[in-house]
Every structure is written in C-alpha cells, then in structure tokens.
C-alpha cells in the first residue's frame, strides 16, 4: 500500500522546494508534483524533512547491576515522537570482554526498537583480541569506535591505547570517536571535593570544568593527527573543546564536533538549584556550561566548525539518580532528550534566525548520515532512500513536560520550555509512527543499519 | 533532440552515484539508470558534474582607453574549455555614472557570450542617484554589489560610503562584496617605492603586503556587522584576510571568502623572475603570496571557512602589460585563469587528497550558486536544472601552455603545469560546447541569469 | 632642608626591600638603611613607591566655547591626592592651526600645575606646516603624537594622514598614539540612532560597540607596521582592541595598550541607570564595556600584553553634561579619575591577587616612564631620580565620594566604592603635597618634563 | 682586595647608564662615578651586565652507566667563558629513589664547580616518600620541581602523578617545571619508525613533531590551572607550545616559557645532513624545528610571552653519540651551548634589532633570577648583590669552533657561526674568571645557591 505525502514543502540540507513524496514499502519511490498513492498524508503548511538521526544515545545502558531507564523501545518511541527516526547507540564491552560478545548482547537489547538504529563500538581496553576483532566489527557494519578519556578505572583508555586504536582505525577505514575529558584530573578532583565535604550535585560541575574537556579534546586531536585518521568529538560542550576542533580544522584535519541540545540551551545555573533532585537530574558529563560557551557552540553550528547536534540520551529515574545522595560521584551520569532535540533546536535555532531550515536538517540528520557513512540511505529525501521522514508543522506548539513524554522517567530537563515546531507525522521506513499526539509506533520494526568502512582518500 | 549522458558517475556537492542524465533543450529532464535519448554522450570512466561557475571575472574591462583582452566571447569559450559553464562579471560604473547606464553598456558587451553569465554591480561612488538605482538594479536580477577598498582616486570608496551602501544592501536583500586592500596605504606605498627607484613588477607586491589586505578585510567585516548584512570577500589571498573571515564566522556572522586558483597554486617567487615580462604578467591585486598563505587557503577550503574558488580573470596582452615598463603602478592588474581553474584545482586539490570530489563541486559550482542565489537552477544536477554540465575525464591530461589556450593573450601564468583531469564534454544549457579538444562553442547562446534578492532571515 | 622617608618598604617595578630614602631639594640623594635628614616622614607599615604617572589626561580641554572643568591646578591636585605625581596632557591644535601656536596656549594653561606634567601633541590635520613643525615639537621635548581615528569633522584624521604622520614619527624618533574608533561608522551610527529616537546616554554606547574600536586598533597596527614605527593605543577598552594588540606583538611589533581604570572596574550596566544624569556622567569614549571585556583587560595587565593604566581624566560638570539632554551626541565625553586610579587599582588589582605590588608600580608609573622616554628621571626610586614618591599605606581606607574629592565636579563615577590602600604622603619633586587627608599642594610648582626622541634601534 | 670596573656602561634589565662598580670580596659594594679600588678592570667601550644565568643544564648527567661529558668543572668553565656566571642543574632521582639521596649525589658532583649553581629537583615517580621529602627539599633551597612528560619507562610521570605533585608544589610554595612532550606517542612513533627501517638521526625529529610538544604543554597548563600553581615550561621549541603558553597567560595564569638558544638559531635542516655524526650531534629533545617556529620564539621574547633563554646543555662525545648507530632511539639526547648562549643571542638578537640590550639582560639573567626566586642576589647590578658580572665587549668577535671551546666534546652545534659581542671579563662572585681569551677559572669556588619557597600571593 503506497503513501503520498502531499502539499508540503520539502526541506533538505541542500534545498527547499514544493513537491509531494510517494512512499512504497520502506522506500521513497518518487518525488514530484501531483503524486497520488493509496493513502494521503496531508503536509499542507508543513516542511517535509529527512527524519532526525541522533548519533549519540545510550539505551538500556548497563549501570551498577541495573540499566538506564529507557531501552530501545521507549527510547526510539521518544525519538519518533520528536521527529527522530534513527539512533546510534554505543556498544560497551567491559574492559577485557570480547567486542563480538558485547555486540551480541547489544543486538539482543535492540529487538523491540521502533525505529532503525546502528552502533558505535567502544574500545574500553586494549589487547590483541581487541585489535583482531576490530576488523570483524567493521565487517559487521560498525565503522566507528568510541574511546573514553574519562571514567578512570572503568571505561577509560590511556594515550597509548588510544594511539594504537586510532592507528588500527586508520588501517581499517574506521573513524575514532572520543569522550574528551581528562579522567585522571576528574578522578582526583572528585576525591578532593568529597574530602572537602562537597558531595552535592553542584560539585559534579566543579570536578570537570571546561579546561578539563578542552585539554582532552586537544590531546585526541594530536593523536588523530599522528595516526592520520579523522576524529569525531562527542558532546563538545565548551569553547575550549571547540577551539581545539577549530585549530585542527585550520590545519586541514577532518575533525568533527558534536554539541548536545542540552549544552546549547541549558546552563550551569541549573546546578545551583537548591533542590537536590533538580540538580542531580541535570548531572551529565560534560556538565552544563555558562552562556559564553553556549554562544560558542551556536556559532560553531553557524560557521560549520561544529557539524551535528545530538542528545547523549541516557535516562535515569529519580530513584536511580538518588544513588548519589551524599556522594555526587555516584549520581548516574545522563539526561534524556531524544523527544526534545528537534523541537528545541527548531525553536532556539531556526526561529531565532541562528540557523536556516536547511542547516537544521544538516545538523540533525544529513551531516550525521554523511559523517557516519550511511548517506543517502539515511539523511536524504531522494528516490531510493529509506522513507524516514518527518512532516514538520512549524505552527504546532507545546510546553515540554514529563507528564506527557515518551521517556519512562519522571522528569525532563527541558520541563516548562515552550517549543514551536513539532511533527505532524513521523514515518519510519514508510510506516507512520507518529501522527501529531497519537503514537503509532510498532516495537520491533526497527532494523540495524550497517555502515561500511570509509573509502581511502 | 534529446541527449543522454551515459555510463558516468554523477558527482555533486552532496553525493556520488552512477546514473545517466537525459537532457532536453536546455534542461535536465531525467536522472536515472539506462536512460536513452536521441544522442548519446559517452561518459564511461568519467565523473559528471555541475558545470563550473566562476564568480569573479572581468571581460572586456575598460582600461586606459582600451579593454582587457578577453571579452565575453573568448572568455566564456576559455571557461567552457576548462569545464566552466557560467561566469559572473563586474559591471563597473565610472564614479558618478548611473548604475543603469553602466548596466546597459555591460549588456551590450555580453552579446557574444558562449555561456550564461551574470553581473555584480560595483558601487564606485555614493550619492542619492546610486542609492535609488540600487533598488532597480536588484529588480533587474543583480543582488550583489561590489566595493573597492583600493584603487584610490578611481574605484575606491571610503568607509562612510561603504557603510551607507552596506545598509542599503541590507534593506534591499542584497549582499555586498569587497575587494579588501587599504587603498590609502597602497597608494602611499606605491609613491614611496617609485620615489626610491623601485619601479619594477616586484615592487607591486611590496606595495600591498598581506597586512594591507588583512586590515581591509577586517574593516569590511566590522562594517557588515554594524549594517547587519552578510559579506563576501573576493580574492582572499592570505592568512590575515582568512583570519578576519574566521573571526567573523566564529561570531555567527555570514561572511564568505573567495580564494583564487592563482593564489592557491602560485607564489610570490614569480615576481623575483628576472624577466620583466614574466613578472609583469603575474601582476594582479592582491599579489601572489608565500607558501604559508597557500597552506592557509587550502585549509580554509577543507574546513569550510573559505567557500569558493574563482579566477578574477582579467587578461592583458604583453603589449598592454608593457604600459608599466618603468612604472609598476601602470602595469594593468590581472591574469587569466578561466580555462585552468577547474583542471588546476582538480590536480592540486583532489588528486593530492586535500579535497574530496564532492568538495571540488561545492567550491567550483554549488556553493557559488547558493551564495549568489541562483541554486538549483545553476550548480545542481537535478531534474529541472539547467543542463550546464561537465563530463570530467579524470585520466585526460595536458601540459598547460598559452600555445593552445582559448584566451587571446600570448602567455599563461600556469604555463608548463601538468594537469590531470579535464573535460571530455562541456554542455552549456544542453549544447555541447566542448568535446575533448574540439571547440564547438556558439557565440551568442549565453544568456543573462537574473538572481533574486535574498529572502529575509 | 633634607627629608628622610623612614621605616618603609620600598616597592619598585623591579624589587621590594626595606630602606630609607633621603631627599634633598627635588631629588632622591640616597637610599639605604638608617638614613637621617632634617625632616622625617614616617613610613612605618607603608610601601614607598614611585609616584604614579597618568599618561592620559585632559585638563582645561577646550570644549564648545568653554573648557573641561578640571584645569592643571585642580587636576594635578586630584592626582597628588591619589598618589599620582605627574600627568601627560594632550595639546590639541585646531585643524589647520600651527602646532607651535597650540603648544604656546597649552603652556599657559599649565602655569598653576601642582605637579610635573608633559604633553602629547595631537595631529588633527595634515599639511606641510604640520610636517615641518613636528620636528620642532620633538626638539621641544614632545616625542609622542596623538591621532584621533574618531570625532569625524573635528579631530579625526584619515588613513592617508595617519600613514604620513606615522612615517614622519619614524623619521623623527617619535611614537604615534591613537584613539582607536572608526569615526565614519560612529558618526553614521549616531545619526541613525538619533533618527530612530534613541537620544539618551545609553545610545552613546550603542553607537560605538567594541567591534568599532577593535577595527580601528587593527588598522592603526597595520599602518604602524608599514611605517616601521612603534604604536601606543590609548584607552584600549575591549577584547577586540586587545586582540589586535596581541596579534601585533606576536609578530614582534612594539605595540602598547593602555586600559583605563574606569574600563577595568566599571561596566556598561551604568548606562542602563534610569537617571539621565547618572548615565550621562559615565559617557566617555570608548564607553564602558561588559564584564568579559574587563576580564580581558585584567589578563592583559597580568600577562604583559597591556602595559599601563591611565584615566583619560576629562571632567565635566553636571551642567556641562546636560548640554546633551535630548541629543546624546552633545554630551561632553569624559569622566574624572585622577584621584582614584591608584587606590582603585590597588584595591581591585593588588588586593584581589591579580597583580603583584611590583606590577602595580610598573603599570601605574615605571612602564609609563619607560614607554614615554623619561625613565629613570621619573618612574624610579634611584639616587638622582626626581623625588616623586608616594608613601602608600595599605591599611588606610575610604569610601569614594564626590563630597570630599579634589576634582571640581559634583559627582564621581566611582562614588560609593570602598578602597583600601591610600597615600600617607605624596611628594612631588621633594615637596610634601599630601599628608593623609591634608592637602599641601602648591599651585605652580609643577614643571614641564621634556622627553627626548627615541634612539634608533 | 677591592676591584673597580671602570669606564663602562652598565646595562641592566631596567636601565642603561654610565657608572663604575666597586667590588669587595664577592659582593658589589658601590655603584657610581669615579670609583677607585685596589685593582682596576677597564670596561671602556663595554657594557657591564649581570652575569648570565642558565636555568637549564645537565652536567655529569647519568647515562647508560656513564655520564654526559661535561661535568660541573668544564660546564661552568664553558659558561663563564661565554659570560654565564650561574647554572641550574637538574637533580634526577631514579624512579623510586629518595629525593634526598639523589640530592646528596648531586651535591658531590658539583664540588669542582667554577661558578655558582643551583638545582631543580625532578619528580620521576610518586609515592608517600616523595610527597614527604618534597617539603625537606624546599627547605634545602630547591623550590622548583621538574616533571618529564616524555621518556616513557624511564623518567616519565603520568597525569595523575603530575597533578598530585603540582598540588603539592602549590602547598609548599614551589613551582613545577615540565618537559612537555607526549611520551606515549613518542614511544609508539619510535617503534613504528624503527619497524619501518627509519633508524637514522632524522627519524628522531619525525618521532616528536611540534604537535606532540604542543599537546603536552597544553596539558601541563591545564593541570597547573586546576592545581592553582604557576608553571614553567622548559625548552619551548615551537609555535604550538608557545600558543599553549599564550593562551594560559591570556587567562591571567602565571606560565613561563623557556626557549633554547639552539631552537632560536638552528633549524631542522641540520637533520638532513648526510653525515650521520653531524645529524646525531644535533639530536636533542625537542628536536630543532623549522624557521616558522623560530619566528614564533623570537616574537615571544620580544612580546614577553616567553621570558628566558636557556641551553639544556647536555654534552655527549662523538663516541657516546655513536651508541645510536643503527637505532636513533639510542642516540643520547643533548647538545652543548653553555659557552655560546650569550654571544649567539647577542649576535642574532641584539645586533639584528630584535631585542634591546635591556631585554637581553632580562632573558639571559634577570627574569631567570626573578622567576627562580633568587633576585636580587643574582641577576642584578645593585649594591649588595653578588658580584656575578660580565664586562661585555660589543666589538670582540670570533668564529665559533670546537677547537677552542671549553666543553670537553669534540664538536659544536654552532660550529662556523660568527659571533660579535663577547666577554672582556667575567666575574664570578668577585673573582675574575675570564679575561678575554684567558681562562682563570678556579674549580671549587662555586657555591650552591638556595632558593626560598615563593611567598603566598
Ligand atoms: Zn560521554
Ligand atoms: Zn555518551
Ligand atoms: Zn579586485
Ligand atoms: Zn576583480
Ligand atoms: Zn580618546
Ligand atoms: Zn583622551
Ligand atoms: Zn627535557
Ligand atoms: Zn633538560
């Protein structure tokens, strides 16, 4: 049964024009005027855009014997509700664990995904098995490897391991990603703050200031330079990291920076909220920064020195957050955002005149698909592309509240923000998953999207 | 009679894929597999790309009672021979002259153009008539206004005039362009050098070092910022100008920078050539710079802080250049380049791994079409777009020599450079103008391309 | 009759040590332990420092047929009360006027000075007479020439004139100074704001944002570079100007930057005060900036990229300020500060840990004396140096208020600030001018201090 | 028996003036005109300056069971011959060794020193004993602690250890120093290069490019920032490290950078010399860089963003250097320079107009004495200061050659350079050690100079 999206204005990273879209099965089969199909989705007054891609989420992430609260079902449902039709999760082997074994576990988790998904593979330790398995991982469609420069004693790798892994990435046509914070310094600062009696959530921010992130970003850039490999810096939250990225790019290096919607729109005053729960719910790494850092991130999106916007969605319940009462280092790190990324960015980016609509599509979808090597299957409105689409109604508005959100947790860091610009329809591979406030997602229809190795330059 | 371009790989700024292109009349009518048409152009082994656009040329430019040597016929023929299917010339009113009167003159010159063309309008003086006529100029499809910060006593405008004009541009939805060099300082330096007996072509470079350009770029950026208007800096040749552009972009400003193929590939050692003619033939403004500036420009194209590549094609004969014997300030400023831009950039940019093929298309065509507001009619391979196409044979090679060039002058600043990557076919609005070394251009088929005012943000 | 300053700790730019100082006549004649003299000044618990030098004041400055309110008598008295023992005023010829004629007028004004003084000569127009007289001006002990890049239609010179004058300075061993703001842009902005109905004092700040200053600073740097001359940028108030200075210095250029105590400690929120008088009293050029600019200025003093602190003291009465009611462009530009510079800088610089005591001496006195070529006669505690000294009591405090100030005006921009650190004694060429709150100044004892041309490097 | 230095021009960091100097015993006792003493040293036509201080030398440094070739006798003799009257050596405990035990060993080595000397203490491992002994080390007059970020598996400490040590420095009023290169990356690069068959001295430079140094400098800055302690970066050799320093200083941090005379005047073309010995003799870390880096270092000295000039004197014989034939990682790292630093810097710095004479004194002596907290006992020409003096004849010249050098090794990296400006006399604590070409040094007269902890700000 075919569908036609009628009467809308197509907005891609490249172009804005009026046309209908004919969808058959899970593909776009025709784009043009006056198309007809079995079912008509009315896009009058709307922009029809490639569905959002969130390049950075953690669904059902293992944590202290339990998991982050949103799994693939509720996480992808939240994404779809906000116009995001694909997520890229992080497969996290325990240090020493086989990458392939971890991958098998992740594949199980994702069985009920409502939209397509892919994985980054984390390199959390280094040995010959890891070296060897990286090749197999790339063959299985995972061409990106994540490295944690923080979380000492857990996920962190040192410079030696990073350099070895980056060189391996270069050989395999894969791209390294880094979480850039100096883990040694963070760990020491945490102990120092606790010892001084600073055990509240605000100390989380004190323990990892922008300098600590900028240093690590700068270090990762140098190691990538020496390895001759591109680099993707996740959750770049501050001017210091952004500066390291700019400097690299001004040498001709291919370095990418990913701000989060949280860092673009929320600031560190949140941690000064006297309500422990309020502040703890905002604990993530890197922490929120001040307004000057926000200005830097927005300018990066405008100038192209930063390329994509993500969420690092990793939702914990109030109860889980409270593990950290009396010891901020035990507050699970992470906030939600999957449902809110697109409306928040539209509201604070497009409606304010900072970004064009085409740039909005670029940073929420197309650039991501290109950088992660799955364009134009994803991130495009082209004949033959997957029918991952959002029919965006620029006049629909709501006030964000946890009461009506898809995420299973009881709060929302954007609570009370009014957004203007929301999906009328979200289609995932041709299926209507969202129709305004009506959720029609189907758990299990999402598929793994393999991403090939990058071609040699 | 339809034509099909068969068997090639389409390369756009966005995408690389295999497909045929069906052309009817002057438009692309279909893109797909296994297309057929009345005439087949064999693109096997080739990349099919949007024809190049040169955003900066001077054809039949008035000069000391005569004109620059290449007019619209030979200039556009040279462009087509190198894969460039459109040029944007500068309409240059005399100070005090009516803009519309100047435009009428320019329209006459372009009668024999072999490819499409457009104009930028220069603001060379400021008064109420100019203010008023700018609106009419925009209505006639010219949405870009050029300002010379150099050439004192001739084309130069002062800050007052620039600010007034930039504000007018903002009101009209037009964009200012600047030639950024401090004209006061250049003029004084010229007199000083002459007074000291430095009258040779090398003194041209001494009279306008990078600092003089960087200063003016910085000043233009500030004035654009105050006027609330985007800005396009032509022939950005050095790190200092590039830095001013980067700083502006890092504030979120929309500032564009245009390096020339000459500055990317030739350096100031040319002026030290003891042959007066050799050196004088390289005299242009800004002059060639050293290798460090070249590195800066390439990195700008790679990182996106510079967006387009032009030629500033303004060809003078040996005889014309010799007007400046004994007084370098009388050497007519300008070099050729229209035929060489694309092969030189492919050879030194794509084949060296600095730029991807998609980036090549972006900086030679698509970005230009977007920035100058004529996308996707130009700069795109899309159904409905003008059939301005180049079928690029990455294996064709030649050694550049004035002996076989299209330009009417007797020398070539790229003489002796070997280029690999040349057009197999160049099509201008559906007509085959070039087939390998065979020139099939038709004088007079080129048309003026109007460009609408920019929409308000 | 000799004096000995006993029991204090001498603090110079170079050194901190305990010693007494013996003064005979107007000179320091001995520095050592256990000195004795006819009169003893008790410096117990105090720091004995070179008297402050204010390199930038306007006393009895001509203005709309009247003068700025503080002349040489009250101005130098205010300075002495705050520990400043010398001022450098600006001799301002009318455009077209003979420099020597203007100098004669200035010499008359300074007859009642209570402390020593010197002049900068302003170049407010350019012609052969000016060119010729500059040599005579240097011979008369004035080796610094001021250029206004703002105040269009009055004091402003254009790039041509600046470049000519800078070259002349280079030839004479003199140094150019600039007031760096783009006068064309300011003038247009003023008219635009007035036309839009913005006629209050806050519009003064809108008409000359940091970008307008940064641009001019950058331009002056380039012109100095081309002329091969050092450069001194007065009242550098913002990061943009500071950045231009840093960039120049990182090329090896000798460029100096002078922040004002006002810009270091007051911000632009002052202009949002609803009281017209309050805001208008803060009108000066450049206007106060936001806190980020303050941080930049402080870091400049700490790192040495900015070298001196001045006041631009130019005091107008409430009545004079009210000339600008209904038209902010008519508000006379200027604030006081001579009495407050040293205590404010000590309080906000030394007591906060930003500056060492030695750095305090450097930026208030020694660096100035060196840069203006009158060291070690001034700015030093050395045998043979002028006995311009301040015995600084780090524990004396007061709340600044116009009620008890020396300046003749009725308000003070630092009103209500508490300062800790004040003179116990101030000596001007050996005379005790200030003893705690007792004013002992003697009008007319101040002398003109000639400053020789700089030696060739 | 007193000495008077007569007829010269005294040049200090602060001042240039004509005066005689009276020396009694090891102190300056009087400065003035027409002094007389038992012995007259004729300084006519000379500049009398504070003796040079080399803040960075390695004398009799342990190495593969032997020692670097110059010990305290020949090293300080070489220093004196070039006008350097004090050296600061590095006490290098083996990892795990007691700091105090190492100090005892170093004290023994220095018994025959011909000039005064001091030590930095290296932190080469971290444990409770080190933590505790640091306090005693400070008490013994060593207030600076060196940290190697390179030399993995030997001297290198990791970020954790550095942060702990920096915090300890902060508590003790001591200052950390760093050798800034990323040791992990260097070690991997070395193995990679060797594996690829690059075993010659040129591979030494390939294994540690400027990026590797810049990264480490940036990291050390961040750690110092977090620890709240000043930082001294030894042998800053490149723009990348210099940029990290500038950025830190522009935040208001107290970070110091030390270029070496080698990096200021020699470049990486030396490693391309086909003579293995020639290239190997230039092997040091960081390696020589290209001319652009030299420009950056000179500008740093001019602008004050770099403060001191050292040698890292660590001399190895030809035979020792040849340990590395066939494996560049075994070439002992180090070059001489103690005798040449002052004449080379005078010739290439002062005579070229880059530095004033006062700046020359600052960067070779006074700044060092201040930064290392031994001013004004050292680095000053003041009554009461140590009579460490050089009578500098600006007209004496020579061609540098190993044939006539004091160092015991058989070559000189400055071989063949002509220097103009050499000592007529060098005095160490009042003794004439050098009189033109005559060496009068007395082994064993040199004493250890203790340096107190820094006062709290
Ligand atoms: Zn992370
Ligand atoms: Zn994450
Ligand atoms: Zn031009
Ligand atoms: Zn042009
Ligand atoms: Zn001013
Ligand atoms: Zn002033
Ligand atoms: Zn070292
Ligand atoms: Zn060393």
pLDDT tens digits along D154-194? 999 999 999 999 999 999 999 999 999 999 999 999 999 99
Contacts of A299 in chain B (CB under 8 A): 249-252
A447 located within any domain: no
B457 located within any domain: no
| Mean pLDDT of chain B, nearest integer | 97
Interfacial A residues in 157-186 facing D (CB < 8 Å)? 158-160, 163-164, 182, 184-185
pLDDT tens figures, B167-203: 999 999 999 999 999 999 999 999 999 999 999 999 9
User: What is the number of other CB atoms lying within 10 angstroms of the CB of residue C395?
Assistant: 10
How close D448 comes to chain C (CA, Å)?
A: 23
Strand partners, C117: C87, C448
Contacts of C251 in chain D (CB under 8 A): 299
Nearest CA to B188 among A184, C223, C413? C223
Whether residue A241 is found in the same domain as residue A93 = yes
In three-state secondary structure terms, C177 is strand
Closest Cβ opposite residue C298 in set D252, D299, D375: D252
| Mean pLDDT confidence for B278-287 | 98
Interfacial D residues in 386-415 facing C (CB < 8 Å)? none
B334: DSSP letter: -
Q: For residue C176, how far is its CA from the centre of ligand 5 (angstroms)?
A: 14
Tokens representing B378 are 């130009």
The number of residues making up chain C comes to 457
| C-alpha–C-alpha distance, residues C397 and C14, integer Å | 26
Beta strand A16-18 pairing with A20-24: unpaired
Q: With 70 as the cut, is the pLDDT of residue B457 above it?
A: no
Query: Chain B interface, mutation test: which of C156, C218, C245, most B Cβ atoms within 10 Å?
Result: C218
CB within 8 Å of C393: residues ≥ 6 apart: C45, C46, C421, C422, C423, C424
Q: How confident is the model at residue B103 (pLDDT cuts 50, 70, 90)?
A: very high
Distance set, CA B8 to CA B11, B393, C212, D202 (Å): 9, 10, 53, 46
pLDDT of residue D1: 84
Q: For residue C322, how far is its CA from the centre of ligand 6 (angstroms)?
A: 20
Whether residue A298 is found in the same domain as residue A401 = no
Q: With 90 as the cut, is the pLDDT of residue D267 above it?
A: yes
Please indicate whether, in this complex, the C-beta atoms of C250 and D250 are within 8 angstroms of each other.
Answer: no
D450 located within any domain: no
pLDDT of residue C457: 58
Cα angle C413-C416-C419, degrees, rounded to a multiple of 5: 100
pLDDT tens figures, D21-50: 999 999 999 999 999 999 999 999 999 999
B424, B440 contact by CB (below 8 A): no
| C-alpha–C-alpha distance, residues C386 and C24, integer Å | 10
pLDDT of residue C275: 98
Q: With 70 as the cut, is the pLDDT of residue D457 above it?
A: no
A449 located within any domain: no
In the complex, which subunits touch D with 3 or more CB pairs below 8 angstroms?
A, C
Whether residue A422 is found in the same domain as residue A284 = no
CATH code, domain with A420: 2.30.40.10
Tokens representing A393 are 């109604």
Please indicate whether, in this complex, the C-beta atoms of C252 and D303 are within 8 angstroms of each other.
Answer: yes
CB contacts < 8 Å between A and B, how many?
Answer: 68
Strand partners, B39: B3
- Which residues neighbour ligand 1 (ion) by CB within 5 Å? A 179
Whether residue B66 is found in the same domain as residue B22 = no
Q: What is the maximum alpha-carbon separation in chain D?
A: 69
| Mean pLDDT of chain D, nearest integer | 97
Nearest CA to A309 among A247, A272, A354? A354
Whether residue C23 is found in the same domain as residue C75 = no
For residue A132, the number of C-alpha atoms closer than 13 Å in the C-beta half-sphere is: 5
- Residue D55 phi/psi, 5-degree rounding, is -80, 5
Whether residue A179 is found in the same domain as residue A241 = yes
Report the residue of chain D nearest A243, measured CA to CA.
Answer: D247
Whether residue D221 is found in the same domain as residue D270 = yes
Q: For residue C179, how far is its CA from the centre of ligand 5 (angstroms)?
A: 5
pLDDT of residue D456: 72
Whether residue B172 is found in the same domain as residue B193 = yes
Q: Which ligand is nearest to the CA of D237?
A: 7
Peptide bond before D376: cis, by omega within 30 degrees of 0? yes
Q: For residue C253, how far is its CA from the centre of ligand 6 (angstroms)?
A: 24
Please indicate whether, in this complex, the C-beta atoms of A211 and D219 are within 8 angstroms of each other.
Answer: no
CB contacts < 8 Å between B and C, how many?
Answer: 59
- Which residues neighbour ligand 8 (ion) by CB within 5 Å? D 312
CB within 8 Å of B284: residues ≥ 6 apart: B262, B312, B314, B333, B334, B335
pLDDT of residue D64: 78
Please indicate whether, in this complex, the C-beta atoms of D184 and A225 are within 8 angstroms of each other.
Answer: no
A291, A267 contact by CB (below 8 A): yes
| C-alpha–C-alpha distance, residues D230 and C356, integer Å | 14
CATH code, domain with B313: 3.20.20.140
| C-alpha–C-alpha distance, residues B452 and C27, integer Å | 76
C151: DSSP letter: S
A196 located within any domain: yes
User: What is the number of other CB atoms lying within 10 angstroms of the CB of residue B173?
Assistant: 15
Tokens representing B444 are 């007079």
Q: For residue A290, how far is its CA from the centre of ligand 3 (angstroms)?
A: 42
Please indicate whether, in this complex, the C-beta atoms of B356 and A252 are within 8 angstroms of each other.
Answer: no
Q: Which ligand is nearest to the CA of D151?
A: 7
pLDDT of residue C65: 80
pLDDT of residue A65: 80
Please indicate whether, in this complex, the C-beta atoms of C252 and D302 are within 8 angstroms of each other.
Answer: yes
pLDDT tens, per residue, chain C with 457 residues: 899 999 999 999 999 999 999 999 999 999 999 999 999 999 999 999 999 999 999 999 998 788 999 999 999 999 999 999 999 999 999 999 999 999 999 999 999 999 999 999 999 999 999 999 999 999 999 999 999 999 999 999 999 999 999 999 999 999 999 999 999 999 999 999 999 999 999 999 999 999 999 999 999 999 999 999 999 999 999 999 999 999 999 999 999 999 999 999 999 999 999 999 999 999 999 999 999 999 999 999 999 999 999 999 999 999 999 999 999 999 999 999 999 999 999 999 999 999 999 999 999 999 999 999 999 999 999 999 999 999 999 999 999 999 999 999 999 999 999 999 999 999 999 999 999 999 999 999 999 999 999 987 5
| C-alpha–C-alpha distance, residues C24 and C33, integer Å | 17
pLDDT of residue D63: 84
pLDDT tens figures, B60-80: 999 878 899 999 999 999 999
Q: With 90 as the cut, is the pLDDT of residue B455 above it?
A: no
Please indicate whether, in this complex, the C-beta atoms of D212 and A222 are within 8 angstroms of each other.
Answer: yes
B79, B87 contact by CB (below 8 A): yes
Tokens representing D293 are 């880096």
Whether residue D57 is found in the same domain as residue D43 = no
In three-state secondary structure terms, A321 is helix
pLDDT of residue B65: 80
Query: Chain D interface, mutation test: which of A131, A167, A185, most D Cβ atoms within 10 Å?
Result: A185
Whether residue D226 is found in the same domain as residue D288 = yes
Domain count, chain B: 2
ipTM confidence: 0.97
Q: With an 8 Å Cβ cutoff, is D246 touching chain C?
A: yes
| C-alpha–C-alpha distance, residues C168 and B192, integer Å | 13
| C-alpha–C-alpha distance, residues C381 and C27, integer Å | 10
pLDDT tens figures, B105-122: 999 999 999 999 999 999
C347: DSSP letter: I
Whether residue B431 is found in the same domain as residue B353 = no
D383, D29 contact by CB (below 8 A): yes
C389, C364 contact by CB (below 8 A): no
Instruction: Give the strand order in the sheet containing B255-257.
Output: B52-57, B84-91, B116-122, B144-148, B175-179, B231-233, B255-257
Cβ-based burial of A252 (10 A; exposed 0-12, middle 13-18, buried ≥19): middle
Nearest CA to B389 among B32, B2, B43? B43
Question: Which residues of chain A are modeled with pLDDT < 50?
Answer: none
pLDDT of residue D66: 84
| C-alpha–C-alpha distance, residues B141 and B454, integer Å | 11
pLDDT of residue C411: 98
Q: For residue B140, how far is its CA from the centre of ligand 4 (angstroms)?
A: 22
Last residue of a domain, one of D335, D350, D371: D371
Please indicate whether, in this complex, the C-beta atoms of B252 and A303 are within 8 angstroms of each other.
Answer: yes
| C-alpha–C-alpha distance, residues A70 and A63, integer Å | 12
| Mean pLDDT confidence for B229-234 | 98
| Mean pLDDT confidence for B231-249 | 98
- Which residues neighbour ligand 4 (ion) by CB within 5 Å? B 312
Cα angle D126-D129-D130, degrees, rounded to a multiple of 5: 45
pLDDT of residue C233: 98
Q: For residue B314, how far is its CA from the centre of ligand 4 (angstroms)?
A: 7
| Mean pLDDT of chain C, nearest integer | 97
Q: With an 8 Å Cβ cutoff, is B34 touching chain A?
A: no
D454 located within any domain: no
Q: Which ligand is nearest to the CA of A313?
A: 2
Whether residue B34 is found in the same domain as residue B102 = no
| C-alpha–C-alpha distance, residues B136 and A190, integer Å | 66
Report the residue of chain D nearest C300, measured CA to CA.
Answer: D250
Query: Chain B interface, mutation test: which of C170, C188, C231, C239, most B Cβ atoms within 10 Å?
Result: C188
A216 located within any domain: yes
Q: Which ligand is nearest to the CA of A285?
A: 1
| Mean pLDDT confidence for B307-322 | 98
| C-alpha–C-alpha distance, residues C388 and C376, integer Å | 11
Q: How confident is the model at residue D309 (pLDDT cuts 50, 70, 90)?
A: very high
| C-alpha–C-alpha distance, residues A158 and A155, integer Å | 10
pLDDT of residue A158: 97
A445 located within any domain: no
Residue D367: domain span: 51-371
How close B361 comes to chain A (CA, Å)?
A: 13
Cα angle C341-C347-C351, degrees, rounded to a multiple of 5: 140
Name the H helices within C228-332. Answer: 239-249, 261-265, 276-281, 291-303, 318-321
């Amino acid at each position: 049964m075919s569908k036609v999206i009628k009467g809308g204005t197509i907005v891609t990273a490249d172009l804005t024009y009026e046309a209908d879209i004919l969808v058959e099965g899970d593909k776009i089969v025709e784009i043009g005027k006056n198309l007809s199909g079995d079912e008509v989705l009315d896009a009058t007054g709307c922009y029809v855009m490639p569905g959002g891609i969130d390049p950075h989420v953690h669904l059902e992430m293992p944590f202290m014997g339990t998991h982050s609260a949103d799994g693939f079902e509720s996480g992808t449902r939240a994404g779809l509700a906000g116009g995001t039709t694909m997520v890229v999760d992080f497969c996290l082997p325990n240090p020493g664990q086989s990458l392939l074994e971890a991958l098998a576990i992740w594949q199980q988790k994702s069985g009920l995904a409502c939209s397509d998904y892919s994985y980054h593979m984390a390199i959390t330790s280094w040995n010959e098995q890891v070296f060897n398995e990286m090749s197999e991982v790339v063959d299985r469609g995972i061409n990106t490897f994540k490295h944690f420069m923080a979380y000492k004693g857990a996920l962190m790798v040192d410079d030696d391991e990073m350099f070895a892994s980056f060189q391996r990435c270069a050989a395999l046509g894969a791209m390294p990603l880094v979480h850039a914070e100096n883990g040694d310094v963070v760990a020491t600062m945490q102990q120092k703050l606790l010892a001084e009696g600073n055990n509240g959530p605000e100390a989380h921010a004190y323990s990892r200031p922008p300098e600590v992130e900028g240093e690590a970003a700068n270090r990762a850039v140098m190691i990538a330079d020496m390895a001759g490999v591109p680099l993707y810096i996740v959750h770049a939250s501050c001017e210091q990291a952004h500066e390291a990225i700019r400097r690299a790019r001004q040498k001709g290096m291919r370095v990418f920076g990913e701000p989060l919607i949280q860092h673009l729109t929320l600031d560190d005053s949140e941690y000064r909220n006297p309500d422990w729960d309020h502040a703890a719910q905002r604990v993530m790494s890197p922490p929120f920064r001040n307004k000057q850092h926000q200005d830097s991130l927005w300018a990066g999106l405008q100038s192209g020195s930063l390329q994509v916007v993500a969420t690092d969605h990793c939702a914990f319940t109030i109860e889980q957050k409270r593990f950290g009462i009396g010891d901020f280092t035990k507050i699970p790190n992470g906030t939600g955002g999957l449902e809110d990324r697109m409306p928040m960015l539209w509201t604070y980016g497009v409606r304010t005149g900072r970004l064009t609509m085409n740039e909005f599509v670029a940073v929420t979808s197309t650039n991501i698909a290109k950088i992660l090597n799955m364009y134009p299957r994803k991130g495009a409105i082209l004949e033959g592309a997957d029918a991952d689409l959002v029919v965006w109604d620029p006049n629909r508005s709501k006030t964000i509240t946890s009461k009506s959100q898809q995420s299973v947790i009881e709060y929302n860091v954007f609570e009370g923000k009014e957004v203007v610009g929301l999906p009328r329809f979200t289609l995932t591979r041709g299926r209507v998953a969202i129709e305004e406030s009506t959720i029609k997602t189907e758990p299990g229809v999402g598929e793994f999207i393999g991403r090939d190795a990058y071609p040699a330059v």
